[in-house]
Amino acid sequence: MNFENKVILVTGANSGIGLSLVHQLLERGAKVVGIDLHSDTLKAMSEEALSFYDCDISSRQAVEAVVEKVLDAHQQIDGVINCAGIIQPFEKVQDLSYDKITQVMDVNFYGTLYMTKACLPHLLAQQEACIVNVSSMGGIVPVPGQGVYGASKAAVKLLTESLYGELMNTNVAVTAVFPGATNTNITKNSAVAAPQAAGDQKSMPIMDPDDVAKQIIKGAQKKKLYVHTGKDSKSMQLMYRVRPIFAVKFIARKMQSLLS
- Give the C-alpha separation, 213 to 216, whole Å: 5
User: Pick the catalytic residue: 114, 149, 164, 240?
Assistant: 149
Other beta carbons less than 10 A from residue 226's beta carbon? 15
Output phi, psi for 193, to 5 deg: -70, 130
**Buried (b) or exposed (e) across 164-186, using 16+ Cβ within 10 A?**
beebeeeebbbbbbbbbbbebeb
- DSSP 8-state code for residue 199: S
Q: Which residues pair with 227 in a beta bridge?
A: 177
Amino acid at the residue 57? I
- DSSP 8-state code for residue 205: P
- Give the C-alpha separation, 22 to 8, whole Å: 9
Measured between alpha carbons, how far apart are the two ends of the chain, in Å? Answer: 47
- Give the C-alpha separation, 150 to 12, whole Å: 18
Residue 164 appears among annotated catalytic residues? no
The residues assigned a catalytic role are: 149
